[in-house]
Amino acid sequence: MGLRFCEPAAAAYAYPLILRHVLRSAVTLAPQQQIVYRDRRFSYSELAARVDQLALALARLGVGPGSMVAVMDWDSHRYLEAFLAIPMMGAVLMTVNVRLSADQVGHTLRHSGAEVLVLNSEFAAAAAALLPSLSSLQHIIWISDEGAAPPSSLAVAGEYEALLALESGAYPWKDFDEQAQAVQFYTTGTTGLPKAVGFSHRQILLKVLVTYGAWAAQAPGQSFRQGDVYMPITPMFHVQAWAFPYVALLLGVKHIYPGKYDPPTLLRLVKEEGVTFSHCVPTLLDIMLHAPESRDVDLAGWKVCVGGAGLSPGLAKAALTRGIDVFAGYGLSETYAGTLLTGFGGDYGLLPEDAQLDLRCKAGRALPLVEVRVVDERMRDVPHDGRSAGELVVRTPWALQGYLGMPDDSKQLWRDGYLHTQDLATIDPGGYVTIVDRLKDVIKSGGEWISSLELESLLSRHPEVAEAAVIAVADERWGERPVALVVARLPSSADLPDRLRTYLSALADEGHISRYAIPARIDLVTTLPKTSVGKLDKKALRALHS
């Protein structure tokens, strides 16, 4: 006998998991709630009306199911409107990573075959230069917060607000297959051109529902729920700000969109708008904490979820000292952001301070609907002892189906039936995952593995260290040896490297690291290169310092 199935009485039963439900729920729950960008404030009801207008305006330009519509903008109410209107039409939203080089932006626009580009005037020069090579592009929608006119080299279909103002009434929304692609963006690997990734309505909606539940259910210092005030500090082009704008809509909370990230502005908004929940990469948190303006802002009650790169205990402590409830999550572009989170249970407050700090910095445990394993090269689970390392592999409904148009890379990503994160990790008896290193960043020295992340984390706890990066350099005897690159917090004395070696040596004496992990070379540098989404650019570091 096989599985049983109920027979639907009506086609209407087939209720697809599409993003339109998010907007309807938001407007039902909190029609008067606000969305804030600069001096403009829109209610959720106005958002819904503007989403209709945007869809009607796009339809007038020929956009329909399957069209590719690219957006180049900083975080704004417009981007939120694009998050909704474009996928809701059955079209694909392509979120352009505006921090990439002009060449790379050009590649992503060409590769996507974008037909319409919603363009912020700040990127006009780059777009004008790329224009001759964008053969699919048919229309540009112009945005300028300053009221700037488009350059003569750019023929635009109209200005965003002007195009919306021409439209009224409701767009004829229709249900469609939940497996339809909703969004496309590009992930920058270690080699070659950015890779195209796409996610379906079903994938995003399931991710949003799980995030909604998992964050809302948390203890107060770590929760995101009714009554919070939301401001993204992960760009909306970066995995759609990790899906949180959609979650914020489901929660019916106030949204603050900060435009281009400028630390004084971000801090002012936290204070003036009473922001209680944000998410960002560690670098941005560090910059905000050390911005001169941050001294005047009371940051108590601000919950900040850190991801994209590991949260170091040093940074976590600095944030906690300022009253920020900081904690880490874990995800990749390939997992549509967060898949792991450490929920602080009722016994969290009873833990010693160091253990609390460690917990805040862990990658975390699998969220609902996520299956996590840590495996060796032959897909055997490593012991759950918190020490044995292996590759973190996952399954979840929102895991990337494959890199678009790259079947070989896709098969490699999914070999043995799991999505391979390329992160080296340990898992403890409680299911908590700790990331040891990126597989490609781990340092193989004399047959042993040295974690660059662990060394960076320990160095970051030293009071004189602002930032640290550890890379491998080739070594005749050992194969590879670690080299530490350190940005000093204060105008530095030349002997900081010696003091750091002594500090690491003491940690080795206490058993926190192996003696062979202590870098022979510790260089002081004034800055560390970052990727377009604010992570340490190890590739560039290796090129500069090897």
Residues 419-438 that bind its own copies (CB under 8 A): 430-431
CB of 179 to its own copies, least distance (A): 6
Task: Check binding of 189 to its own copies (CB under 8 A).
Answer: no
Question: How far is the C-alpha of 143 from the C-alpha of 333, rounded, in Å?
Answer: 27
Contacting its own copies within 356-395 (CB under 8 A): 365-369, 371-372, 395
Q: Is 178 annotated as catalytic? A: no
187 noted as active-site residue: yes
Please pick, from the candidates 21, 99, 268, 489, the single residue that binds its own copies as defined by CB under 8 A.
21
Dig out the tokens for 394 from the structure: 């996952």
Asked whether position 13 contacts its own copies by CB under 8 A, the answer is yes
* Binding residues among 441-500 for its own copies as defined by CB under 8 A: none
Contact present, 435 and 441 (Cβ < 8 Å):
no
Quote the least distance from Cβ 276 to its own copies, whole Å.
12
CA pair distance 530, 523, nearest whole angstrom? 18
User: Among residues 19, 30, 290, 457, which is the contact residue for its own copies, using CB under 8 A?
Assistant: 30
Residues 329-348 that bind its own copies (CB under 8 A): 343, 345-346
- Given the residues 190, 444, 448, 502, the one annotated as active site: 444
User: Residue 22: in which H helix or E strand, if any?
Assistant: helix 20-29
434 close to 509: Cβ distance less than 8 angstroms: no
Site for its own copies (CB under 8 A): which residue of 250, 357, 359, 536? Answer: 250
Catalytic residue among 46, 159, 173, 187: 187
Exposure string for 354-388, b = 16+ CB within 10 A, e = fewer: eebbbbbbbbbbbbeebebbbbeeeeeebeeeeee
- Closer residue to its own copies (CB): 417 or 463: 417
Asked if 350 touches its own copies (CB under 8 A), the answer is no
Half-sphere exposure of 134 (CA within 13 A, CB side): 27
Number of Cβ within a 10 Å radius of residue 467:
23
396 contacts its own copies (rule: CB under 8 A): yes
Q: Provide the CB-side half-sphere exposure for 358 (13 A, CA).
A: 10
Choosing from 156, 306, 413, 528, the residue that interacts with its own copies (CB under 8 A) is: 413
> Does the annotation count 449 as an active-site position?
yes
**Residue located via tokens 């050390």:** 290
**Interaction residues for its own copies, span 87-116 (CB under 8 A):** 90, 92
CB of 488 to its own copies, least distance (A): 41
Nearest by Cα to 326 from 285, 292, 284: 285
Calculate helix-pair angle for 20-29, 201-216, nearest 10 degrees.
40
**Please, what is the minimum distance in Å from the beta carbon of residue 70 to its own copies?**
14
- What is the closest distance, in whole angstroms, from the C-beta atom of residue 351 to its own copies in the complex? 15
Q: Which is nearer to its own copies, 71 or 284 (CB)?
A: 71
How many other β-carbons are positioned within 10 Å of the β-carbon of residue 111? 18
Question: Contact region for its own copies (CB under 8 A) — 102-110, 140-148, 220-228, 515-523?
Answer: 220-228
Number of shown-chain residues binding its own copies (CB under 8 A) = 79
CB of 254 to its own copies, least distance (A): 11
Render 100-169 in DSSP notation, one character per residue: S-HHHHHHHHHHHT-SEEEEEGGGHHHHHHHGGG-TT--EEEEE-TT-PPPPTT---SEEHHHHHHT--S
Which are the catalytic amino acids? 187, 334, 444, 449
